[in-house]
Structures are given as structure tokens and as C-alpha cells.
Amino acid sequence: MSETEGTYSVKLPVFEGPLDLLLHLIRENKVDIYDIPIALITRQYLEYIEMMKELDLEIAGDFLVMAATLIHIKSRMLLPVEETTDTMEEMDPRFELVQKLLAYQAFKDAALGLKEREEDWSGVLKRTPVEEGAEASEEQELQLFDINLFDLIGVFKELLEKTPAEVLTVTRETLTMKDKMSMILETLQGTEALRFEELFKGDFLRSHLLVTFVALLEILRLGLARAYQEKDFGTVWIIRPEEQPEAEQAA
């Protein structure tokens, strides 16, 4: 339980609600919950509310309703007991309040049990299954976002950094961008979607990577394929446009 500390001369525990405060008073006075000395508890309860007022703390309406209830019970306790009533409930004006306090206490105990479990479990992690290529993308609805040129370049840069710099430069370029474009389009024909990295599977030289990348950009520009990304920093997919390839090709 937290306490207001420091500048105040009185230490005032903060209670969530009136039941909380009552349970605290019962505990502090070491009295039997089934036989609450209602005069004593009511006095201390009202003192607490006074303190809250003095400290300028906002007093929730619930606290005031309970104050009224306590005073009502206290006054009923002063009345002579009618022998005609047959049940405990009717005889003891405190009965209803006690039942409420007991029920509330039971849930407070249960909350402590949950707290312990939370302590044990809050750092437990589960495996995140690895997406298995295009099949997975069909089964689960992937959230795909259009990727912009800068993101695409960023992804390519990462790929480039993983490739060792060439020691020997092979100058005779055998593969033109056009060749590469048709190769990519051919690969795309056979599948719904292609991982960005898969495009570069056959490229071991940085210069080849570059040709492939430029070819891809050209394909995207012509609208022959689209690039999407799963979330931020997720896998980039190259996807054949479904319906309108004809129209776009013509354009």
C-alpha cells in the first residue's frame, strides 16, 4: 500500500475505496470482522475523511456514502433488539456490511494470487514461428504495405553490405539489364509472390546485384510487378499484379 510521504506531518495511506479503508481499520484495531465495534470504526473512518479534507485530497462520493451507512448502522445498534426477528440478518444491522467486506477481502486475496502468477509469468516468452515463404502468405492474411523507393533502396543496401567486396573486378559484363528483367518476369510467372532476396539468389558479385536491382526498379516502374512489405522492416515481397497487367503493360 502506498503512502504519501515527505512534506506532510501525518502519514496518510491511500485507499482505493471505502471498503479498503474499513478493512484496514479492522486489521489495525485487531478486531473481529464478525463483531465490528461499530462506534470505534465509524469514528476512525470519519477521522480519516477529515484528514483527507485537511490535506485537500479529493474525496470520492463512495467514501461519503459509506460514512452515511456507518452512521446509520451505529444508530440502529443503539436501538433495543426486537426479539421477534428470527434471522441473524435482521437482528444485526452490521450483517450486510460484514458480508460485503468478506466478499471483497476474498477477491483481494485472489488478486494477490494473480499478482504472484504475474510475477512468475511476465518474462515468459513463446516461440515466434518463422513464416515459410509464399505458402504462409496465403494461409495467413498478411498485412502488406506499399513500399516506397527509399525503403527499397534501404533493403537493397543491407543485402549489398552482406556481400563481400570484390577483389577482382570482372569487367566484361555479360548480363544486360534487359536480360535480367525478362529473367525476373519469368520467375514471377511461375509464382504468386517472390521474396526480395530470392531475386538475387544467383548473383554473387556486387555488380550483378546492382544490375538485378536496377532491373527490378524498371519492372516496378512499368507496373509489371509491385513491391510490398510486411509491417515495418518486414519481408519485402515482389508480387505480380493480378487483374490489370495487360492494361498497364500497354501503357
Partner 1 sequence: MEESQKKSVLEMFLFLSGEPLTLKELKSATGLEDTEITDLMDELIADYSEREGGVLIGKIAGGYQMYTNPALAEWALKFRGAVKPQKLSMPALETLAIIAYRQPITKVEVEEIRGVNSDGVVKTLLDRRLVKMVGKKEAPGKPMLYGTTREFLEYFGLKDLTGLPTLKDLEREEAA
Stretch that binds partner 1, among 24-32, 85-93, 157-165, 190-198 (CB under 8 A): 24-32
Describe the strand order of the beta sheet including 144-146 as a list of residue ranges: 144-146, 226-230, 236-239, 193-195
Stretch that binds partner 1, among 28-36, 79-87, 184-192, 197-205 (CB under 8 A): 28-36
Stretch that binds partner 1, among 107-115, 166-174, 178-186, 218-226 (CB under 8 A): 107-115
Q: Which of 10, 68, 114, 167 binds partner 1 (CB under 8 A)?
A: 114
Stretch that binds partner 1, among 70-78, 115-123, 162-170, 206-214 (CB under 8 A): 115-123
d(CA 181, CA 188): 11
93 binds partner 1 per the rule CB under 8 A:
no
Convert 24-51 to b/e letters by CB count within 10 Å (16 or more is b): bbbeeeeeeeeebebeebbebbeebbee
Query: Which CB sits closer to partner 1, 128 or 171?
Result: 128
Q: Which of 60, 77, 224, 239 binds partner 1 (CB under 8 A)?
A: 60
Q: Which of 17, 72, 139, 231 binds partner 1 (CB under 8 A)?
A: 17
Phi, psi for 228 (deg, rounded to 5):
-130, 160
d(CA 89, CA 85): 9
d(CA 31, CA 62): 24
Could you say which DSSP state residue 165 is in?
A: P
Q: Which residues are at the interface with partner 1 (CB under 8 A)?
A: 16-20, 23, 26-27, 30-34, 60, 62, 66, 99-100, 102-115, 117-118, 120-129
